[in-house]
Amino acid sequence: MALAKQLLALILISAYIIFATSTNAAKPSNKPSTSTKGAVPGQKANVANMVAKQMQAVEKKIIEFNASLKKRPKTPKSSSHRSRECVSECDEVFGAAIDDIKKTLDSLKSLNLVKANFDVSAVATNVDTCNDCFNDIGKGGDAEVKKFGEWVRKITGDALAALQKAA
């Protein structure tokens, strides 16, 4: 009886492991899959690949920039009530931008460049919202946030142009 129970437990554990690894394998990876690349040769796949790399770079920078915003020393300027509100708004819209990047990567994986176009625009808009918040405080906004926003605008602008050409 005890042996049968152990056997049953073993079977359940094995089944769970097989299930977990197979669902894990089915999860969409953030990298463009090489199979779609091979299936649809040519420009579309190349552009999708290039834009995927750009968006992964943007994601990395957003995470870094968010962390640096949160770690700002409590100087009078950065600890003002409104500026702290902006830091938390930025955290929120950066989170949304990262979701948009994940959507972009999915769209690129299925070579849906029209949808990828929308997704990339949403990334840029979300990052702009952070900059807008600081601009609304006045005093010319925040130099670092502005610079970061411009960098994102440049990369997403290039990505949009490439997607439009290839779609």
Q: Which two tokens stand for residue 125?
A: 């808009």
Integer Cα distance of 133 and 91 in angstroms: 12
> Smallest Cα–Cα separation from 37: which of 100, 115, 108, 116?
108
Number of chain residues interacting with ligand NAG (CB under 6 A)? 8
Our CB check for ligand NAG shows the closer of 12 and 57 to be 57
Q: How far is the CB of 64 from ligand NAG (least distance, A)?
A: 9
Helix (H, G, I), strand (E, B) or coil at 111: coil
Q: How far is the CB of 23 from ligand NAG (least distance, A)?
A: 25
Our CB check for ligand NAG shows the closer of 43 and 88 to be 88
Q: How far is the CB of 17 from ligand NAG (least distance, A)?
A: 31
89, burial (CB in 10 Å: exposed 0-12, middle 13-18, buried 19+) = middle
Q: How far is the CB of 142 from ligand NAG (least distance, A)?
A: 16
Our CB check for ligand NAG shows the closer of 66 and 107 to be 66
- 15 interacts with ligand NAG by CB under 6 A: no
> Smallest Cα–Cα separation from 100: which of 144, 156, 43, 46?
156
- 66 interacts with ligand NAG by CB under 6 A: yes
Our CB check for ligand NAG shows the closer of 89 and 132 to be 89
Interface positions, 83-142, toward ligand NAG (CB under 6 A): 91, 94-95, 98
DSSP string, 4-61: HHHHHHHHHHHHHHHHHHHHHHHSPPSSPPHHHHHHS-SHHHHHHHHHHHHHHHHHHH
User: What residues line the site for ligand NAG (CB under 6 A)?
Assistant: 63, 66-67, 70, 91, 94-95, 98
